Structures are given as structure tokens and as C-alpha cells.
Structure 1
Amino acid sequence: MARIAVITHEFDRFQSRRGLLWRRDSPYMLFDLLEELKRRGHSVQVLSGTSAKPAADIAVLHVDATVTSPDYVEYARAFRFCLNLGAADISKRRISGAVVGKDDGWKGQVIVKSSLNHRGTPEQQLNRRARRAGKAMPFPGVESFDQYQIHASLADVPAELFGREDLIVEKFIPEPEPDGFAARFWLFCGERERCTRHVSPQSLVKGDDTIRREAVPVPDELRALRRKLGFDYGKFDFVMHEGRAVLLDANKTPGRARNLSSFIAAGNANLADGFEGLIRQHA
């Protein structure tokens, strides 16, 4: 049985207590995966910050921020093996395959997004908690970008947005369907995975408005991109456009889809098998 360490940000809340029975809860998918691993006999320790002396067989770098600061990366290197050590930067400017520039020849619709994961909400939460603790904000200068903006063409995007490093402009390329639009979501841990195609009546496909879904294969070019980006565990959002996979978002700290809890829970054992495979591989 392995000793598993979860490295979180000093001001993150990986788990909490709730309800009359003070049950543990978490907004993260990893929490459920770890609960399954504990049922199998493994031990789990959540390490907040970088002060604890490394003492584990395997670690997970689970800092909920778009760019993991160097001090956390160096701390993670002290463990024998750490998942997602190579995935310290998941900014859309780095990972998106749909980014376009002001003078590109793209003629279709475009969408303006924050380059930060989840529109920078995790960074803002960490900043608020740091302020309440009387400490320096870990991500000063982060601005909110509350809503995606869809434009008919590149010419319709305000020129000043192209100069902002915190924003990106992407081709807007959801997969058209007779009853809506589709996007694909690939969850993985080690060699285990599940990949589904979700159809929604909305052009911005989210889990909570899915009207149907189906299992689909993972394109080989996406597997190659996962290796390049350094992901051992996480979630990729992508579409198929003109016969190729286009990665739109990569998340190293995916959340729990509560509205799809039974669907997600059914795959926890499979992902836990993948985690145990990594344990054996690096024993």
C-alpha cells in the first residue's frame, strides 16, 4: 500500500467539513478518486503549502491556479514521483489549439476568453483568502473576465483586447449537430481514461446543459499533446474540426460535476486503477 501526498496551495481548500455529521467534502474530482484509493488501503495526506517534509511514495501537484509558482514546483521535485509536475502552466495562451491573432486569415466566428483557467476565479479566491490571513496576495493584478464574448469575425473584436496578455481570441468552432452543438471531454489518470462527446442546445457546451452524451475514442494527436504538456492526471476539453482534434482547455485540478455525479462516480474506480498503475510504475 502506498503513502499518497496531495500538494495544495497554502490558501486552497481542497476539502472541508459540512452537514450535521461533519462529513468531509471537496469541490475537486481528485477527492473522490482518493476516497476510492483509501478504500483500497492506501493512505492519503493533504499538504497545504510547502513547509512539510516530503514523506510519501507518490505525490500529486494539485495547486488550483493556472500557473503553479516555482516554489511549489521545486517542492514537488523533492518527492520520489509527483503527478503533473510537468503541467505547471495550463494557460489557454499556451495550450489552446484554436488561438488566432489580429491579422490571421480566419473568416469565421471568434470567441474572447480569459487565458486563465476558469476565468481566473481560482486565483481571485486565493488572493481573497491571503488578504483575510493578512498575507501578500499570491496572484496580484489578476482581473476578472466574467463572460465569454462571441464575435462574428476578427474584425469585430475591439483592437485593445488583442494587446491584453490575460485574454486570448480563439476560433469559435463547436461541433454542429442537428439538435445543437457538441464538445468532447477526456478524463484520464495514468493509462486509464474515459472520453465522452456531449451535445447541448447551447453553442457553449457545458456539463449542466447536456441533452445527450456518448463514449468516443481519444484521437492519437491528443495523446501526443498530453505527453508534451506533461499531464499524468486531468481533463482535456476539445472538439473535432475539419477532421482533427483541437484542444480548447486543459485542467490539472478538474472539479466534481455534481449534476452528473452518478456518471462521474461510475468512473472513479477506473481512474483509481490508473493511479495504482502509476504507483506500481514508480515503486
Structure 2
Amino acid sequence: MRKLTVPHLNAAPIRPPIPPMGPRSQRHTLDRIAILNNSGHSPGDRTHLTALLADQWRAAGIEVMELSGAGTFVEADLLFLNLSRPVLPEEYRRFAAQYPVSFNAGAGDLRKHLYADGLLRAGSPYKGAVIVKADHDFITPITPPAPRAGFFSLLSGSRRPRASALQTLSANDNYRIYPSLNDVPPEKFGPGHIVQKFLPEADAGRYVLRQYYFLGNAHFLSLLTSGASIIRTSTPQSLEEWSPPEELLDLRAHLSLDYGRIDFVEVDGKPFVISVSRAPALPASAEPGYVPPAYNRLAEALAEALVDSYTTTEKGVF
């Protein structure tokens, strides 16, 4: 990355736009980025991808300030929201409005019922297996307890297991698979949960999860595989530049997501969206501090994309 001279930008989109013909142009450098984390965040924490982005920005000569919650304002050219919560609190929206530019401040509500594919209601005629999830959580699914013998062997030679062979599997209270809609407790159809078709993607007897990472015009695809139907965050089989389908680009625009990750599988050649995160986590590692090299390359591309996006936005100030 390189330090660039850029036009000064006006307020974040949640402020009223500057009237046409009023402002004059002014140039300045992108000197400081503030990263807004959840309250309780410890400076130097390296559990999220933003830690690697910050490394790249600092290497380019840009000062990076880490904020924990919306209690303390610091001057910065750009505010980068890294919040692992689905609904952006009003206090965070007001805080973001103080900055000339913000990333992800427009993504106010990322609850699953607003975007997940294959959602079902009680009484639906759907006959296949289903998965019940908390509507509000950003918790990474963990591997469920070992199922009865022969469950995962059903994947061999088939795209997905037969619903009749599924046992009720629980990763935690936020993710649970049921053989059919009739097995779902009535209270799970109420607010706070979603019921979704369970349509896993599989290849060579292993489950597949696709993860679309993005920032501005930088797009990367990660492939994870596992013998478990609910896949924990782990080292990807591949992570490389990618051209996303229009469905995912449209979803980003609908949710106003500048940066984040969309988890999905392919069903009949189309993306089937599972979850969205505005604060992607780094994969867990048995070796403290270890990050797969592919993530450093990903961070370099995303960090550069933010600078490019900043420099190409033509705005003015009075």
C-alpha cells in the first residue's frame, strides 16, 4: 500500500447530503483511521480480521486508533465499524455521524430474518430437514456432538443426507438441526429465531461452506470443508480472488455492507445464504498468534481496497 493524497469527504451517509454547487474541493491525506469495536474490546486483540487490516494500514504510514465502544471520540479521517452485533445501537449511529467518512455505518440491521434464504413458517408443506437458529446472534457455529453411527456416511455418493436419517443435532442453543418441520418446537417459530431449510453442500463425502469476503471492490472466496454438518471457523481449503454472482452483490447493497463476510452454500448452482457478519473472525489456531498466510494476503487486498475507495470518492467541503 502507499500513502495517497485524496479529496476530503463529507459526513457519513446518515448525515444530510451537501447541496449541489455549494462546496469547494479540498485535498488532504488519509492520515488516521479509527476502528470502532464492541465495548469491552482489548486494544491489541487479534481475533478479528481487522487486526490484519490495521497491520497493513500502519505499514502504509496510516495511524490506526482502536476504540472500545462509543464512549470516547478521537479525531480521524475515517471510522471503520467492526461490531459483532446484528443491530447497530443508536448511540453507535450518532457516534459514527461525527466522522467525515464511515464504513459499515449504514448496515444498521443484520438479523437473519432479513436476508437468509429458505426461511420457513409453521405449517409449511416443506418435507426436508430444517435448521433452527437464533435470529440475533453472531456466534460462530461449533461442531455438534458425534451423531449416531452412519449419519455422515449418508453423504457418500449424494449431495445431501436423507431427512429420514437425520437425528436432532445441537451445536449450541443457537443452532439445531431437525429431521423435519414437524419436529421443531412451536416456540422456535416465534420472534428471536428463524427456521431455515437445511440444504448442506457436500463434496466427496464432506460438507462444504463458502465464505465471501469483501471490502469495496475487493472480492475473495474461501472454501471450508468438514465432516460435521455445522462447520466451525477453520483453515480454508482455498482463499482467492473471486467474481461474486449478482445475488450476493445485490444482498450487500440491500444491507448497505461496505465490509464483511457472507456465508453460503451452492444449491442448484445458486448461492443459498446462511449468515452475514460485519466483523469476520480469524480462524482458530492451536498455535497462539498463528495466521494462515492466505489471510495476510486477503488483509493486504482489503486494506488497499479501503484506501482506493476513499481516494476515488469525490466530495467537497465548505
TM-score interval, normalised by the smaller of the two chains:
0.7 to 0.9
Q: Name the counterpart of 1:126.
A: none
Change (3 A) 1:148 1:64: closer
The amino acid across from 1:162 in the alignment is F
CA distance in 2 between partners of 1:105 and 1:213 (Å): 38
Q: Name the counterpart of 2:19.
A: none
CA distance in 2 between partners of 1:146 and 1:220 (Å): 33
Q: Which runs of no fewer than 5 residues in structure 1 stay unpaired?
A: 16-23, 122-144
Residues 124-273 of structure 1: matches in 2 within 5 Å?
Answer: 146=173, 148-163=175-190, 165-208=191-234, 212-213=237-238, 215=240, 217-259=243-285, 261-273=292-304
Residues 64-143 of structure 1: matches in 2 within 5 Å?
Answer: 64-119=84-139
2:46 is the counterpart of 1:26 = yes
CA distance in 1 between partners of 2:202 and 2:83 (Å): 35
Change (3 A) 1:70 1:272: same
Residue 8 of structure 1 contacts residue 14 of structure 1 at CA under 8 Å; is this kept in 2?
Answer: no
2:33 is the counterpart of 1:4 = yes
Percent identity of the aligned residues? 26
Larger relative contact order, structure 1 or 2 (CA cutoff 8 Å, min sep 6):
2
Deviation by residue 1:99-132 (Cα, 9 ceiling, x = unmatched): 21112232211001111233499xxxxxxxxxxx
Secondary structure at the aligned position of 1:245 is classed as strand
Q: Once the 2 structures are TM-superposed, how far is the Cα of residue 173 of structure 1 from its aligned partner? A: 1.0
CA distance in 2 between partners of 1:87 and 1:238 (Å): 19
The amino acid across from 1:8 in the alignment is N
Q: Once the 2 structures are TM-superposed, how far is the Cα of residue 179 of structure 1 from its aligned partner? A: 2.2
Q: How many residues in Structure 1 have an aligned counterpart in Structure 2?
A: 250
Q: Name the counterpart of 1:276.
A: 307
Q: Once the 2 structures are TM-superposed, how far is the Cα of residue 13 of structure 1 from its aligned partner? A: 0.8
Greater CA drift, 76-85 or 112-121: 112-121
Q: Name the counterpart of 2:5.
A: none
Larger Rg: 2
Secondary structure at the aligned position of 2:303 is classed as helix
CA distance in 2 between partners of 1:117 and 1:221 (Å): 23
TM-score normalised by structure 2 residue count: 0.72
The amino acid across from 2:254 in the alignment is K
Residue 81 of structure 1 contacts residue 282 of structure 1 at CA under 8 Å; is this kept in 2?
Answer: no
2:80 is the counterpart of 1:60 = yes
TM-score normalised by structure 1 residue count: 0.80
Deviation by residue 1:166-208 (Cα, 9 ceiling, x = unmatched): 2111111111222212121011111112112322222223333
CA distance in 2 between partners of 1:107 and 1:185 (Å): 28
Residue 199 of structure 1 contacts residue 213 of structure 1 at CA under 8 Å; is this kept in 2?
Answer: no
CA distance in 2 between partners of 1:147 and 1:208 (Å): 19
The amino acid across from 1:4 in the alignment is I
CA distance in 2 between partners of 1:32 and 1:281 (Å): 23
The amino acid across from 1:270 in the alignment is A
The amino acid across from 2:36 in the alignment is I
Q: Which runs of no fewer than 5 residues in structure 2 stay unpaired?
A: 1-28, 142-171, 286-290
CA distance in 1 between partners of 2:300 and 2:250 (Å): 25
Residue 119 of structure 2 contacts residue 195 of structure 2 at CA under 8 Å; is this kept in 1?
Answer: yes
CA distance in 2 between partners of 1:231 and 1:222 (Å): 11
Deviation by residue 1:227-264 (Cα, 9 ceiling, x = unmatched): 11111111110111123212111100111114363231
Greater CA drift, 270-279 or 198-207: 198-207
Secondary structure at the aligned position of 2:292 is classed as helix
The amino acid across from 1:265 in the alignment is N
Residue 98 of structure 1 contacts residue 248 of structure 1 at CA under 8 Å; is this kept in 2?
Answer: no
